[in-house]
Amino acid sequence: MAPSKKRGSKSIPKEPLRYYEGVLDLTFEEFSLDEDDEFFEIDSPGDEISLQKWEDDWETLTLQGSLEITHDLVEAVFPEDDREDPPAELVLAADCDKTHLREGHETDIANFTEGTHEVTVTVSDQRYAGSFRLHPILVRTEPGDPDADYRTLEGLALADGVPVRVKIDDVSEGGDRLLPSYFKSFSGSEQDRFPDDAVFVVDKSDLDRPKLFVNSDHESIRDALKSGPRGYVGHVMKVYRDLIFLPAFTELTLWTAQDVQSDGSTAHDWQDALLSHIGTRMYGVEDASKAGERLHEELHEDEAMTTLLDRTSRTLQEYFSVHKSMNKLVDRIR
Protein backbone atom coordinates (compact mmCIF):
# COMPACT_ATOMS: atom_id res chain seq x y z
CA MET A 1 0.00 0.00 0.00
CA ALA A 2 1.25 3.51 -0.77
CA PRO A 3 2.58 5.50 2.18
CA SER A 4 0.02 7.87 3.64
CA LYS A 5 0.00 11.35 5.01
CA LYS A 6 -0.76 10.61 8.64
CA ARG A 7 -2.37 13.17 10.86
CA GLY A 8 -0.83 13.57 14.29
CA SER A 9 -1.69 11.02 16.98
CA LYS A 10 -4.19 12.35 19.46
CA SER A 11 -3.79 12.14 23.23
CA ILE A 12 -7.11 10.95 24.62
CA PRO A 13 -7.94 11.73 28.26
CA LYS A 14 -9.97 8.92 29.86
CA GLU A 15 -13.49 10.11 30.72
CA PRO A 16 -15.81 7.07 31.12
CA LEU A 17 -19.33 7.44 29.63
CA ARG A 18 -18.07 10.17 27.31
CA TYR A 19 -18.55 10.05 23.51
CA TYR A 20 -15.13 10.78 22.01
CA GLU A 21 -15.33 13.09 18.98
CA GLY A 22 -12.68 13.37 16.29
CA VAL A 23 -10.31 10.73 17.70
CA LEU A 24 -10.49 8.04 14.98
CA ASP A 25 -7.64 8.56 12.52
CA LEU A 26 -8.94 7.29 9.14
CA THR A 27 -6.92 7.86 5.97
CA PHE A 28 -7.63 6.61 2.44
CA GLU A 29 -4.46 6.12 0.40
CA GLU A 30 -5.46 4.15 -2.72
CA PHE A 31 -8.43 3.57 -5.01
CA SER A 32 -9.48 1.27 -7.82
CA LEU A 33 -12.29 1.33 -10.38
CA ASP A 34 -14.82 -1.32 -11.40
CA GLU A 35 -13.44 -4.04 -9.10
CA ASP A 36 -10.06 -3.94 -10.84
CA ASP A 37 -7.20 -5.51 -8.89
CA GLU A 38 -4.95 -2.57 -9.80
CA PHE A 39 -4.95 0.22 -7.19
CA PHE A 40 -3.77 3.80 -7.77
CA GLU A 41 -2.30 6.18 -5.22
CA ILE A 42 -4.47 9.06 -4.04
CA ASP A 43 -2.48 12.23 -4.70
CA SER A 44 -3.19 13.98 -1.41
CA PRO A 45 -4.65 11.73 1.31
CA GLY A 46 -6.42 13.68 4.02
CA ASP A 47 -9.83 14.99 5.06
CA GLU A 48 -10.64 16.02 1.46
CA ILE A 49 -9.61 14.00 -1.56
CA SER A 50 -10.36 14.49 -5.25
CA LEU A 51 -10.58 11.60 -7.70
CA GLN A 52 -11.80 13.33 -10.85
CA LYS A 53 -9.13 12.29 -13.36
CA TRP A 54 -11.08 9.33 -14.71
CA GLU A 55 -13.22 8.26 -17.62
CA ASP A 56 -16.92 9.08 -17.22
CA ASP A 57 -18.27 5.55 -17.34
CA TRP A 58 -16.96 4.03 -14.10
CA GLU A 59 -19.45 1.85 -12.21
CA THR A 60 -17.82 1.10 -8.86
CA LEU A 61 -15.19 2.86 -6.79
CA THR A 62 -13.18 1.07 -4.10
CA LEU A 63 -11.29 3.14 -1.54
CA GLN A 64 -8.57 1.48 0.50
CA GLY A 65 -6.88 2.96 3.52
CA SER A 66 -6.11 2.52 7.19
CA LEU A 67 -7.47 3.24 10.63
CA GLU A 68 -5.08 3.94 13.48
CA ILE A 69 -6.23 2.57 16.86
CA THR A 70 -4.19 3.93 19.76
CA HIS A 71 -3.66 2.47 23.22
CA ASP A 72 -5.31 5.57 24.72
CA LEU A 73 -8.44 5.06 22.63
CA VAL A 74 -8.85 1.42 23.65
CA GLU A 75 -8.48 2.34 27.33
CA ALA A 76 -10.82 5.30 27.01
CA VAL A 77 -13.82 3.51 25.49
CA PHE A 78 -13.60 -0.12 26.70
CA PRO A 79 -13.64 -1.55 30.24
CA GLU A 80 -10.57 -3.58 31.14
CA ASP A 81 -12.33 -6.94 30.58
CA ASP A 82 -13.14 -5.95 26.96
CA ARG A 83 -9.74 -4.68 25.85
CA GLU A 84 -8.22 -7.97 24.70
CA ASP A 85 -10.99 -8.47 22.12
CA PRO A 86 -13.03 -5.23 22.00
CA PRO A 87 -16.70 -5.79 20.97
CA ALA A 88 -16.97 -3.07 18.36
CA GLU A 89 -17.21 -2.36 14.65
CA LEU A 90 -16.28 0.57 12.46
CA VAL A 91 -19.23 2.03 10.53
CA LEU A 92 -18.65 4.55 7.74
CA ALA A 93 -21.70 6.80 7.65
CA ALA A 94 -22.04 7.91 4.01
CA ASP A 95 -23.74 11.15 3.03
CA CYS A 96 -24.18 12.24 -0.63
CA ASP A 97 -26.06 15.50 -1.22
CA LYS A 98 -26.36 15.03 -4.97
CA THR A 99 -28.31 11.76 -4.72
CA HIS A 100 -29.84 12.53 -1.30
CA LEU A 101 -28.29 9.32 0.02
CA ARG A 102 -27.69 8.52 3.68
CA GLU A 103 -26.44 5.03 4.51
CA GLY A 104 -23.90 3.15 6.59
CA HIS A 105 -21.05 0.90 5.38
CA GLU A 106 -19.81 -1.75 7.78
CA THR A 107 -16.10 -2.53 7.55
CA ASP A 108 -14.39 -5.87 8.06
CA ILE A 109 -11.99 -4.93 10.86
CA ALA A 110 -11.88 -8.11 12.95
CA ASN A 111 -10.36 -6.79 16.16
CA PHE A 112 -10.15 -3.24 17.49
CA THR A 113 -6.90 -3.72 19.32
CA GLU A 114 -4.09 -1.19 19.25
CA GLY A 115 -2.42 -0.84 15.85
CA THR A 116 -3.06 -0.03 12.20
CA HIS A 117 -6.02 -1.73 10.51
CA GLU A 118 -6.83 -1.85 6.80
CA VAL A 119 -10.17 -0.31 5.77
CA THR A 120 -11.91 -0.90 2.42
CA VAL A 121 -15.19 0.53 1.15
CA THR A 122 -16.87 0.25 -2.27
CA VAL A 123 -19.54 2.59 -3.70
CA SER A 124 -21.61 2.50 -6.89
CA ASP A 125 -22.13 5.25 -9.47
CA GLN A 126 -25.86 4.48 -9.33
CA ARG A 127 -25.95 5.76 -5.73
CA TYR A 128 -23.13 8.32 -5.52
CA ALA A 129 -22.35 11.38 -7.64
CA GLY A 130 -20.59 14.71 -7.32
CA SER A 131 -19.04 14.31 -3.88
CA PHE A 132 -19.80 12.45 -0.70
CA ARG A 133 -18.65 12.22 2.92
CA LEU A 134 -17.55 9.16 4.89
CA HIS A 135 -17.83 9.66 8.64
CA PRO A 136 -16.02 6.98 10.70
CA ILE A 137 -17.96 5.91 13.81
CA LEU A 138 -16.94 3.26 16.36
CA VAL A 139 -20.03 1.32 17.53
CA ARG A 140 -20.29 -1.22 20.37
CA THR A 141 -21.58 -4.61 19.13
CA GLU A 142 -22.25 -6.48 22.39
CA PRO A 143 -23.70 -5.52 25.78
CA GLY A 144 -21.23 -5.20 28.62
CA ASP A 145 -21.26 -4.89 32.38
CA PRO A 146 -23.99 -2.32 33.17
CA ASP A 147 -22.18 -1.37 36.37
CA ALA A 148 -19.01 -0.41 34.53
CA ASP A 149 -18.32 3.30 34.15
CA TYR A 150 -18.35 2.99 30.36
CA ARG A 151 -20.84 3.10 27.50
CA THR A 152 -21.66 -0.63 27.55
CA LEU A 153 -25.06 -0.82 25.84
CA GLU A 154 -25.04 -2.71 22.52
CA GLY A 155 -25.36 -0.38 19.51
CA LEU A 156 -24.05 2.73 21.26
CA ALA A 157 -21.60 4.91 19.36
CA LEU A 158 -18.35 5.22 21.31
CA ALA A 159 -16.20 7.54 19.22
CA ASP A 160 -15.85 9.07 15.77
CA GLY A 161 -13.32 10.69 13.48
CA VAL A 162 -13.15 13.64 11.11
CA PRO A 163 -15.35 12.93 8.04
CA VAL A 164 -13.46 12.35 4.80
CA ARG A 165 -14.93 14.20 1.81
CA VAL A 166 -14.44 12.48 -1.53
CA LYS A 167 -15.00 14.36 -4.79
CA ILE A 168 -15.63 11.87 -7.58
CA ASP A 169 -17.33 13.74 -10.43
CA ASP A 170 -17.47 17.23 -11.82
CA VAL A 171 -21.26 17.29 -11.56
CA SER A 172 -22.92 20.69 -11.59
CA GLU A 173 -24.81 21.39 -8.38
CA GLY A 174 -26.12 24.82 -9.36
CA GLY A 175 -29.76 24.04 -8.61
CA ASP A 176 -29.07 22.52 -5.22
CA ARG A 177 -26.75 25.40 -4.36
CA LEU A 178 -29.48 28.03 -4.85
CA LEU A 179 -32.49 25.99 -3.71
CA PRO A 180 -31.73 23.17 -1.25
CA SER A 181 -33.85 20.12 -2.07
CA TYR A 182 -35.23 17.43 0.23
CA PHE A 183 -37.50 14.39 0.03
CA LYS A 184 -40.63 14.40 2.16
CA SER A 185 -43.82 12.35 2.29
CA PHE A 186 -46.80 14.62 1.58
CA SER A 187 -49.46 12.03 2.41
CA GLY A 188 -51.35 12.77 5.56
CA SER A 189 -49.63 16.11 6.00
CA GLU A 190 -51.71 18.50 8.06
CA GLN A 191 -50.11 21.43 6.26
CA ASP A 192 -52.08 22.72 3.28
CA ARG A 193 -48.91 23.65 1.44
CA PHE A 194 -48.09 19.94 0.88
CA PRO A 195 -50.97 18.56 -1.27
CA ASP A 196 -51.00 14.75 -1.46
CA ASP A 197 -50.75 14.57 -5.27
CA ALA A 198 -48.16 17.32 -5.74
CA VAL A 199 -44.77 16.25 -7.13
CA PHE A 200 -42.89 19.12 -5.47
CA VAL A 201 -43.41 22.28 -3.45
CA VAL A 202 -41.25 25.37 -3.09
CA ASP A 203 -41.58 25.96 0.64
CA LYS A 204 -41.62 29.63 1.68
CA SER A 205 -42.23 29.15 5.41
CA ASP A 206 -38.76 30.64 5.95
CA LEU A 207 -38.56 33.59 3.56
CA ASP A 208 -34.81 33.88 4.11
CA ARG A 209 -34.19 30.28 3.00
CA PRO A 210 -36.75 28.74 0.64
CA LYS A 211 -36.52 24.98 0.19
CA LEU A 212 -37.61 22.55 -2.48
CA PHE A 213 -39.51 19.53 -1.13
CA VAL A 214 -40.07 16.59 -3.48
CA ASN A 215 -42.96 14.26 -2.63
CA SER A 216 -41.39 10.89 -1.81
CA ASP A 217 -44.81 9.21 -2.11
CA HIS A 218 -44.26 9.16 -5.89
CA GLU A 219 -41.88 6.21 -5.63
CA SER A 220 -40.80 5.97 -9.28
CA ILE A 221 -39.92 9.66 -9.41
CA ARG A 222 -38.17 9.46 -6.03
CA ASP A 223 -36.06 6.47 -7.09
CA ALA A 224 -35.07 8.11 -10.38
CA LEU A 225 -34.07 11.34 -8.63
CA LYS A 226 -31.93 9.37 -6.16
CA SER A 227 -30.08 7.55 -8.93
CA GLY A 228 -26.56 8.31 -10.11
CA PRO A 229 -25.77 10.52 -13.11
CA ARG A 230 -25.11 7.81 -15.74
CA GLY A 231 -26.97 5.19 -17.72
CA TYR A 232 -30.62 5.18 -18.74
CA VAL A 233 -31.94 5.86 -15.23
CA GLY A 234 -29.37 8.64 -14.83
CA HIS A 235 -30.73 10.38 -17.94
CA VAL A 236 -34.28 10.02 -16.59
CA MET A 237 -33.08 11.60 -13.34
CA LYS A 238 -31.70 14.64 -15.18
CA VAL A 239 -34.93 15.16 -17.15
CA TYR A 240 -37.02 14.85 -13.98
CA ARG A 241 -34.79 17.38 -12.24
CA ASP A 242 -35.22 19.79 -15.14
CA LEU A 243 -39.00 19.38 -15.06
CA ILE A 244 -38.95 20.30 -11.38
CA PHE A 245 -36.28 22.99 -11.42
CA LEU A 246 -37.71 24.97 -14.35
CA PRO A 247 -41.03 25.95 -12.69
CA ALA A 248 -39.40 26.15 -9.26
CA PHE A 249 -36.76 28.63 -10.41
CA THR A 250 -39.30 30.56 -12.47
CA GLU A 251 -41.16 31.02 -9.20
CA LEU A 252 -38.00 32.22 -7.44
CA THR A 253 -37.15 34.61 -10.28
CA LEU A 254 -40.60 36.22 -10.24
CA TRP A 255 -40.45 36.42 -6.45
CA THR A 256 -37.10 38.21 -6.76
CA ALA A 257 -38.51 40.54 -9.43
CA GLN A 258 -41.29 41.54 -7.04
CA ASP A 259 -38.85 42.24 -4.17
CA VAL A 260 -35.90 43.85 -5.95
CA GLN A 261 -35.58 47.63 -5.67
CA SER A 262 -34.70 50.15 -8.38
CA ASP A 263 -31.07 50.21 -7.18
CA GLY A 264 -30.80 46.42 -7.48
CA SER A 265 -30.96 45.72 -3.75
CA THR A 266 -32.93 42.69 -2.58
CA ALA A 267 -34.86 41.56 0.48
CA HIS A 268 -33.04 38.25 1.03
CA ASP A 269 -29.50 36.93 0.60
CA TRP A 270 -30.62 34.05 -1.62
CA GLN A 271 -32.02 36.61 -4.08
CA ASP A 272 -28.54 38.11 -4.44
CA ALA A 273 -27.22 34.64 -5.27
CA LEU A 274 -30.01 34.08 -7.80
CA LEU A 275 -29.25 37.40 -9.48
CA SER A 276 -25.56 36.49 -9.58
CA HIS A 277 -26.12 33.07 -11.19
CA ILE A 278 -29.25 33.64 -13.26
CA GLY A 279 -30.00 37.36 -13.43
CA THR A 280 -26.65 38.15 -14.99
CA ARG A 281 -27.37 35.58 -17.72
CA MET A 282 -30.84 37.01 -18.31
CA TYR A 283 -29.52 40.49 -19.07
CA GLY A 284 -25.97 39.81 -20.26
CA VAL A 285 -24.32 41.78 -17.46
CA GLU A 286 -21.57 40.81 -15.02
CA ASP A 287 -22.81 42.55 -11.89
CA ALA A 288 -25.69 41.09 -9.81
CA SER A 289 -26.93 44.52 -8.71
CA LYS A 290 -27.07 45.67 -12.34
CA ALA A 291 -29.11 42.57 -13.17
CA GLY A 292 -31.41 43.49 -10.28
CA GLU A 293 -31.90 47.00 -11.68
CA ARG A 294 -32.79 45.61 -15.10
CA LEU A 295 -35.18 43.06 -13.56
CA HIS A 296 -36.93 45.83 -11.59
CA GLU A 297 -37.22 48.01 -14.68
CA GLU A 298 -38.64 45.23 -16.82
CA LEU A 299 -41.23 44.18 -14.24
CA HIS A 300 -42.55 47.72 -13.97
CA GLU A 301 -42.73 48.46 -17.68
CA ASP A 302 -46.19 48.42 -19.26
CA GLU A 303 -47.23 44.99 -20.55
CA ALA A 304 -43.74 43.63 -19.79
CA MET A 305 -44.75 40.42 -17.97
CA THR A 306 -44.84 38.36 -21.19
CA THR A 307 -41.32 39.53 -22.09
CA LEU A 308 -40.08 38.77 -18.59
CA LEU A 309 -41.58 35.26 -18.66
CA ASP A 310 -40.03 34.55 -22.07
CA ARG A 311 -36.64 35.82 -20.93
CA THR A 312 -36.82 33.74 -17.72
CA SER A 313 -37.80 30.58 -19.59
CA ARG A 314 -34.98 30.91 -22.14
CA THR A 315 -32.38 31.64 -19.47
CA LEU A 316 -33.35 28.76 -17.19
CA GLN A 317 -33.43 26.26 -20.06
CA GLU A 318 -29.89 27.32 -20.91
CA TYR A 319 -28.74 27.38 -17.27
CA PHE A 320 -29.89 23.79 -16.65
CA SER A 321 -28.89 22.57 -20.15
CA VAL A 322 -32.36 21.13 -20.67
CA HIS A 323 -31.76 20.35 -24.34
CA LYS A 324 -28.76 18.15 -23.52
CA SER A 325 -30.49 16.00 -20.92
CA MET A 326 -33.63 15.54 -23.04
CA ASN A 327 -31.69 14.71 -26.20
CA LYS A 328 -29.55 12.16 -24.35
CA LEU A 329 -32.62 10.47 -22.92
CA VAL A 330 -34.32 10.29 -26.31
CA ASP A 331 -31.15 8.86 -27.87
CA ARG A 332 -31.06 6.12 -25.22
CA ILE A 333 -34.68 5.00 -25.74
CA ARG A 334 -34.69 5.02 -29.56
Domain ranges of the chain: 20-167, 174-333
Architecture of domain 20-167: Sandwich (2.60)
Tell me what pLDDT residue 229 has.
54
Query: Which residue, 235, 230, 234, 237, is CA-closest to 55?
Result: 230
pLDDT digits (tens, 9 = 90+) for 45-54: 678 887 755 5
Quick one: CA torsion of 135, 138, 141, 146, rounded to 10 degrees?
-130
Amino acid letter for position 227: S
Tell me what pLDDT residue 173 has.
44
Helices (H) then strands (E): counts for the chain: 9, 13
pLDDT in tens, the chain (334 residues): 333 334 444 556 555 678 889 999 999 998 887 777 777 788 766 788 877 555 455 678 899 999 998 999 999 999 999 998 999 999 999 988 777 778 899 888 878 888 999 999 999 887 887 789 999 999 999 998 888 888 888 889 999 999 999 987 654 444 556 787 778 889 877 778 899 899 999 999 889 889 888 898 998 888 777 665 556 666 777 888 889 999 999 999 999 999 999 999 999 999 999 999 999 999 999 999 999 999 999 998 877 788 999 999 999 999 988 888 888 888 877 7
Contact 292, 264 (CB under 8 A): yes
Contact 148, 79 (CB under 8 A): yes
pLDDT digits (tens, 9 = 90+) for 287-320: 999 999 999 999 988 777 889 999 999 999 999 8
Taking the model in full, what pTM does it have? Answer: 0.52
